[in-house]
């Protein structure tokens, strides 16, 4: 009897981790989020393979990719219980294709794989033909920027999308450094951050030909500051860096002084800022470095 009991306990001990692993696999999200320094955050399938949008897809519930197109860019097939990763806003739906199959859509954007992506993390499809692009978390269905002329390289986006589970998607510059809004900026075309404030929160410089990633709603433009420089703005929101962010992906400026916050895709000037847990301690320490001097 003792030997039988020991055998049962050993078998149970071996089975439990397998059962727990199976439960974890079942609870995994249907999609995941990956990040690449060249393009920022993007959606992948559960195995980490990049997913793409097709800019001719501009009507909800419809795909414009069939035949040879669909062979090179296989539509993502749905599964039961499809879920988004923690922190990713929006919804997953299913569209009916004219060939009788079904395809997954994210915020009405039909999703595709690319046959030339050989392993998880590859983004060989990014910018192909000026019509295929990775899908940032928070993306929305077009209209998308017009494709460049034949043979013209696709210009790099001026901003990217960063991502954490705590904060969700937020804007960064092209190098992945987080950009912030200042709640004291309440008038379109004007910044309230100068002098000591601008030393701690340098304005993001504006440049010609600024572009958003496909799928990110809104516009990038510039304002002329009273110090003679030009500052990038997103939907009339002046954008700033934080000097204590040391590396791409840092968000130590979020919630500093209850006046500095990350900028979420689609935000408009005057919208309530995105609350979060990060940056609260820095806010108490650095509140004195955020004067609204002009």
**pLDDT, tens digit, 9 for 90 and up, residues 211-253:** 999 999 999 999 999 999 999 999 999 999 999 999 999 999 9
Report how far residue 70's alpha carbon sits from residue 217's, in angstroms, rounded to the nearest whole number. Answer: 26
The confidence band for 147, taking pLDDT boundaries of 50, 70 and 90, is: confident
Residue 1 lies in a domain: no
> Is it the case that residue 22 has pLDDT exceeding 70?
no
Percentage of the chain beyond pLDDT 90 is: 78
Ranges of beta strands (E only) in 165-204 are 168-173, 180-182
Whether residues 167 and 289 fall in one domain = yes
CA–chain centroid gap for 69, Å, is: 26
> Is it the case that residue 89 has pLDDT exceeding 80?
yes
Report how far residue 61's alpha carbon sits from residue 41's, in angstroms, rounded to the nearest whole number. Answer: 25
Mean pLDDT of the 97-104 span: 97
Whether residues 118 and 166 fall in one domain = no
Residue at a domain's end among 83, 111, 144: 144
Whether residues 137 and 232 fall in one domain = no
> Is it the case that residue 292 has pLDDT exceeding 80?
no
The confidence band for 285, taking pLDDT boundaries of 50, 70 and 90, is: very low
Residue 14 lies in a domain: no
Whether residues 209 and 232 fall in one domain = yes
How many structural domains compose the chain?
A: 2
Residue 109 lies in a domain: yes
Residue 13 lies in a domain: no
Whether residues 69 and 201 fall in one domain = no
Residue 22 lies in a domain: no
Residue 233 lies in a domain: yes
Whether residues 139 and 204 fall in one domain = no
Least confident among 147-161, 199-213, 222-236: 147-161
Whether residues 127 and 199 fall in one domain = no
> Is it the case that residue 291 has pLDDT exceeding 70?
no
Report how far residue 24's alpha carbon sits from residue 269's, in angstroms, rounded to the nearest whole number. Answer: 41
Least confident among 14-23, 32-41, 70-79, 142-151: 14-23
Whether residues 48 and 111 fall in one domain = yes
Whether residues 93 and 192 fall in one domain = no
245-280 confidence digits (pLDDT tens): 999 999 999 999 999 999 999 999 999 998 754 433
Which long-range contacts does 60-64 make (Cβ < 8 Å, 24+ apart)? 60/105, 60/108, 60/141, 61/95, 61/96, 61/105, 61/108, 62/95, 62/110, 63/95, 63/97, 63/103, 63/110
**Residue 65, pLDDT score:** 98
Judge contact between 218 and 138, C-beta under 8 A. Answer: no
Report how far residue 40's alpha carbon sits from residue 47's, in angstroms, rounded to the nearest whole number. Answer: 18
**Residue 245, pLDDT score:** 98
Whether residues 41 and 99 fall in one domain = yes
Report how far residue 236's alpha carbon sits from residue 284's, in angstroms, rounded to the nearest whole number. Answer: 28
Helices (H) and strands (E) in the chain, counts: 4, 14
Mean pLDDT of the 70-91 span: 96
> Is it the case that residue 3 has pLDDT exceeding 90?
no
Residue at a domain's end among 119, 144, 169: 144
DSSP string, 195-207: THHHHHSPBPBP-
> Is it the case that residue 36 has pLDDT exceeding 80?
yes
Residue 23 lies in a domain: no
Residue 3 lies in a domain: no
Parent domain of 135: 30-144
Report CA torsion sign: 40, 76, 85, 48. Answer: negative
Residue at a domain's end among 144, 166, 192: 144
């Amino acid at each position: 009897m003792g030997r039988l009991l020991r055998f049962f306990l050993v078998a149970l001990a071996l089975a439990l981790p397998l059962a727990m692993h199976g439960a974890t696999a079942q609870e995994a999200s249907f999609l995941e989020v990956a990040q690449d320094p060249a393009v920022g955050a993007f959606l992948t399938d559960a195995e980490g393979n990049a997913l793409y949008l097709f800019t001719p897809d501009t009507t909800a519930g419809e795909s414009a990719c069939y035949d040879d197109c669909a062979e090179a860019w296989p539509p993502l097939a749905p599964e039961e219980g499809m879920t988004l990763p923690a922190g990713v806003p929006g919804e997953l739906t299913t569209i009916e294709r004219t060939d009788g199959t079904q395809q997954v859509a994210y915020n009405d954007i039909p999703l595709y794989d690319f046959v030339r992506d050989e392993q998880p993390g590859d983004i060989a499809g990014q910018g192909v033909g000026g019509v295929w692009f990775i899908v940032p978390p928070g993306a929305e269905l077009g209209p998308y920027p017009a494709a460049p002329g034949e043979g013209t390289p696709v210009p790099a986006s001026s901003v990217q999308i960063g991502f954490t589970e705590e904060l969700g998607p937020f804007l960064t510059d092209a190098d992945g450094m987080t950009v912030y809004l200042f709640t004291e900026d309440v008038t379109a075309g004007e910044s309230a951050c100068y002098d000591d404030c601008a030393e701690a929160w340098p304005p993001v410089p504006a440049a010609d030909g600024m572009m958003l990633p496909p799928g990110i709603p809104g516009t990038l433009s510039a304002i002329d500051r009273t110090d003679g420089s030009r500052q990038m703005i997103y939907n009339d929101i002046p954008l700033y860096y934080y000097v204590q962010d040391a590396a791409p992906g840092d968000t130590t400026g979020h919630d500093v002084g209850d006046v500095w916050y990350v900028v979420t895709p689609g935000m408009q000037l005057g919208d309530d800022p995105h609350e979060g847990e990060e940056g609260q301690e820095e806010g108490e320490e650095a509140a004195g470095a955020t004067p609204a001097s002009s």
